[in-house]
Chains A and B, each alone.
Chain A
């Protein structure tokens, strides 16, 4: 056996390294990898003991040898080459009757990647790439990526290994007591991601003892056909006298590990607290073959923390709203870099019940690869639904797939050679389920048979890249029934045939069907029901459309997919309760619009403003008589400390809702346009943006247009946006003294490049003196002061 994982016999890994080093005197805070140079004999003795105990694989002492984490005096190159050298020396002395391997041990960087932290994916990738290159050069037999708690970092490490060496990759993650990674991914997420990235073996290490890992190994065995590795701790750590102790002895450990093998694990070892004695005992386990498992026939896509099945016998919703086609506001928001607008569209769809969100940022003239990448990254920091990356630009697709924190749905490949050749390799490399459009160089076939033939061809080309029918979701393309009377029939026939003859899942952009006709929502909903009836797996629809959601819910209730009609009943009851409670609260506190605003009753305020407009009151009159004076009164109350910020924000939100209701009835020239725009951003290096978000909310509710560039924004990005939008005021926030430097730099750059643009700053550590010192034009102590300032400035 020249490579590990070559057959199904049990492969034995070593036990704990860190805890062994500690027993030999490694102190807390000391760099373990330096021992490769200072105490090589001690490191070697540990490897030798594990080989002698029967381990096939030892992990070299390189766990933290990446440039993001390592801070020893010696170079990484020295540390890694000596580590591999020591392990190879131990291997050379080991009994050669067993296959023996040396793994380059790749642990986490110790940094939290974006979106949770501030560390760039590409920086993590670089750190791992260097480590892998050095390890491969030094002669490692495999790469063991372990103790990963973040899917994003795991992906960076795997891509670094795949792109910088051709060694086999074993990737293991660490589960918490709830069976999830630190960043929230569960076993299903991990399995989908790792299968997609095509590692050679996968599993768990550290975190839990072998008994606690059992249910998760069982689950993993259902979700992957790859060999499963487990390296459990010797039980859960206990702190005794300030020291961490592990209590499970070798015999007990072996009993539990045997159960893990029965559950499907074929690569076994130990982590913290395990010793050569633990490994010696598990080496005596019967050398049985691990059961052969079929690749599971599910089509799973994932976010950083959630796995979603695209079903064969049920239907889910892909929210279509993040697509600028025909949406002026979204187009403008994408062009302006107004991330907050896009995020709001996303959150609204999540709340409405979408299962997956489509992300398409195709606006002519825009740098699509950059915008798609940044939009995907912003979305995955806020919503936990998997994304459908929707672009026809392979460059944009690759960049977004690379930085996506899990396994996406890719939209799309089609039957054209160019598309097949550019998209399928990306899916094979990064993992993903993929939408297959039934069109090719000759266009969209007019018949169901023609569309089926293209789907068949795409699937067979996919097979060349190791993709199966379960990796594809076929979109037979919806064409307007107004242009072709037979269109709907052909679509439904095609979907039926794809399902029956190819056994493949389907998706469809439903609303195209009604293009060119009046009363589109009703027609769309009826067609949606028909499509679900022939087995539509995923409808690409607007989840904010009541008609579509009613069609979805009723279809599932009527076809037994909604068990005991539970979802239908819950939805109906909630709807009823909402309308009752709205009516009830209206009668108590919302005597009038002013009162609704004062009490912060958003829905009531919007409802009353709408009613007032409908009853013939002039929109401007409503604003001048009710909304503005009440908002003024509330603002004064805050300034005079009679009410608190949360109450001010509640009222402002209610006023904002009333504004919106009235404004939609007003022509722009009559004051429907907002004042501004004002750019807001949290400065580079600062990832805390609550204060900035509160300012944005209040400004918007007071009728200002805000372009929110988000958090951790580089000075040049602020300047570019301010220049593009011809903005007169930029608001910057910083929370910590450590990030005020970045604020100062941004102010300097704005002043240098845009003489007409002023900068206002705010944040916990700032004062008006401090603000003046760093060159800010204005300082406001809270959101209300900022509103006042914006009101006084000619924007």
Chain B
């Protein structure tokens, strides 16, 4: 998976400043080793708005977000459980490594979700486009909706993503989201 170094820098909270010197060497090393342990997988499913409404309470911020949509994709992606062990191992030896591994993982899962978005776009009908991702926990869309979302996608089986009692997704570098589909060609997709 190709990952933009500027994105890694952003997740390291370094703004636009790309690491240099000893720090750059560390980033390169950790990125290289992370590439070997990740197992990116993704799953999605299209629902029409009526189906979506049967599973989720579409009100408040999610309703506003999906305003004008006639369908939505539920999507979930992860870079896999081995990355979590990798990240834990890095954090045992060094705080910097922990921070870099965390940033590398974040950049990777974001990239995976971008790829997922591209693949979903390929199956859209003419004149349809996707709006931005919306995840449980955004606005007043409850975190608990995560449970339904992952269940519909059969995510534990299809991509190996499940929830903890506290509604954290495991593996940690996983994203689940609802992505609305609109017919408005004016929207920048």
Contact = CB atoms under 8 A, between A and B. Distances in A.
A112 B170 contact: yes
Interface stretch (A484-492, A518-526, A684-692): A684-692
B63 interface: no
Contact of A653 (B21, B95, B102, B162): B95
Interface in B135-189: 143, 148, 151-152, 154, 156-157, 160, 162-168, 170-172
A184 B148 CA distance: 27
Contact of B95 (A29, A599, A652): A652
B35 interface: no
Contacts of B98: 690, 693-694, 697
Contacts of B168: 118, 686-688, 735-736, 738
B92 A340 contact: yes
Contact of A347 (B89, B123, B162, B170): B89
A184 B172 contact: no
Contacts of A509: none
A115 B55 CA distance: 31
A600 interface: yes
Nearest to B148: A29
Contacts of B55: 29
Nearest to A108: B156
Contact of B91 (A108, A589, A693, A736): A693
Interface string A86-118: 000000000000000000000010111001111
A116 B95 contact: no
Interface in B91-149: 91-96, 98-100, 102, 123, 143, 148
Contact of B92 (A115, A347, A601, A739): A347
B170 A117 contact: yes
B160 A644 contact: no
A650 B89 contact: no
Most buried by B among A184, A645, A652, A697: A697
Given A644-B13, A647-B23, A116 B171 contact: yes
A346 B123 CA distance: 48
Interface in A770-795: 783
B48 to A, nearest CB: 9
Contacts of B19: 646
Contacts of A110: 156-157, 162
Given A28-B45, A117-B170, A118-B170, A687 B99 contact: no
Contact of A183 (B14, B46, B81, B148): B81
Contact of B23 (A108, A600, A737): A600
A340 B143 CA distance: 31
A734 to B, nearest CB: 9
A453 interface: no
Contacts of A118: 164-166, 168, 170
A32 to B, nearest CB: 11
A383 interface: yes
B50 interface: no
Contacts of B17: 644
A650 B157 contact: no
A115 B85 contact: yes
Contact of A344 (B92, B102, B143): B92
A29 B151 CA distance: 6
A365 interface: no
Contacts of B99: 645-646, 649, 690, 694
A178 interface: yes
A119 interface: yes
Nearest to B17: A644
A599 B21 contact: yes
A178 B41 CA distance: 12
A732 to B, nearest CB: 15
Interface string A405-427: 00000000000000000000000
A460 to B, nearest CB: 40
Given A110-B162, A117-B162, A600-B21, A384 B85 contact: yes
Interface string A655-697: 0000000000000000000000000000001111110011011
Contacts of A565: none
A242 B43 CA distance: 11
Contacts, number: 163
A255 B32 CA distance: 41
Contact of A686 (B92, B93, B166): B166
B94 A184 contact: no
B160 A149 contact: yes
Chain A interface main SS type: loop
A108 B123 CA distance: 31
A66 interface: no
Given A28-B152, A652-B95, A119 B45 contact: no
A645 B99 CA distance: 9
Nearest to A701: B95
B81 A242 contact: no
Given A117-B164, A382-B88, A736-B168, A690 B102 contact: yes
Interface in A710-749: 735-739
A147 interface: yes
A274 interface: no
A698 interface: yes
Interface in A392-413: none
Interface string A332-374: 0000000010011011000000000000000000000000000
A239 interface: yes
A182 interface: yes
Contacts of B41: 176
B172 A688 contact: yes
A305 B143 contact: no
Contacts of B152: 28-29
A697 B44 CA distance: 39
A644 B14 contact: yes
A381 interface: yes
Contacts of A685: 164-166
Contact of B93 (A28, A347, A690, A737): A347
A72 to B, nearest CB: 13
A599 B93 CA distance: 19
Nearest to A119: B164
Interface string A113-153: 00111110000000000000000000000000001010000
Contacts of B87: 690
A644 B12 contact: yes
A182 B170 contact: no
B146 to A, nearest CB: 11
Most buried by A among B17, B81, B98: B81
B39 interface: yes
A118 B100 CA distance: 24
B3 to A, nearest CB: 16
A687 B45 CA distance: 29
Contacts of A206: 157
Contacts of B1: none
Contacts of B166: 118, 685-686, 736, 738-739
A645 B12 contact: yes
B162 to A, nearest CB: 5
26 contacts: A28-B45, A29-B151, A112-B171, A116-B170, A116-B171, A149-B160, A182-B39, A182-B80, A242-B46, A305-B82, A305-B85, A340-B92, A344-B92, A344-B93, A600-B21, A644-B13, A644-B15, A645-B12, A646-B100, A649-B94, A649-B99, A685-B164, A686-B166, A690-B98, A698-B95, A738-B166
Given A149-B160, A343-B92, A344-B93, 12 more contacts: A28-B154, A116-B84, A149-B157, A183-B82, A382-B89, A602-B22, A646-B12, A646-B19, A690-B91, A697-B95, A701-B95, A738-B166
Q: Which 10 A-B pairs have the closest CB atoms?
A: A697-B95, A242-B46, A182-B160, A118-B164, A693-B91, A117-B170, A110-B156, A738-B166, A649-B96, A685-B166
Interface of B: 12-15, 17, 19, 21-23, 26, 39, 41, 44-47, 55, 73, 80-82, 84-85, 87-89, 91-96, 98-100, 102, 123, 143, 148, 151-152, 154, 156-157, 160, 162-168, 170-172
